[in-house]
Amino acid sequence: MGVVVKIPTQLRAAAGGASSTTVDGTTVGEVLDALYEQFDELRERIADDDGLRRFVNVYIGGEDIRFLDGLETAVEDGDEVTILPAVAGG
Partner 1 sequence: MPPQSLSCKECKTPYPLDARYVCERCFGPLEVVYAPREDVDVAALRRRIQAGPHSIWRYQDFLPLEAPPRGTLPAGWTPLLRADRLAEQLGLREVWIKNDAANPTHSFKDRVVAVALARAKELGFQVIACASTGNLANAVAAHSAAAGLESYVFIPADLEEPKILATGIYGTNLVAVRGNYDDVNRLCTEVSGEYPWAFVNVNMRPYYAEGSKTISYEIAEQLGWKVPDRIVAPIASGSLFTKVARGFEEWIELGLVDGAVPTMNGAQASGCSPVATAFADGRDVCRPVKPDTIAKSLAIGNPADGPYALELARRTGGAIDAVTDDEIRAGIKLLAQTTGIFTETAGGVTTAVLAKLAERGDIEADECVVAVITGEGLKTIDCARGTFETHEVDPSLEDFEARVATSTVAA
For residues 3 and 56, which CB has a smaller minimum distance to partner 1 in the complex? Answer: 56
For residues 17 and 89, which CB has a smaller minimum distance to partner 1 in the complex? Answer: 89
44/39 Cα distance (integer angstroms): 11
Residue 87 beta carbon to partner 1: minimum distance, rounded to whole angstroms: 5
Q: Do the beta carbons of residue 20 and residue 4 sit within 8 Å?
A: yes
For residues 4 and 24, which CB has a smaller minimum distance to partner 1 in the complex? Answer: 4
Residue 74 beta carbon to partner 1: minimum distance, rounded to whole angstroms: 20
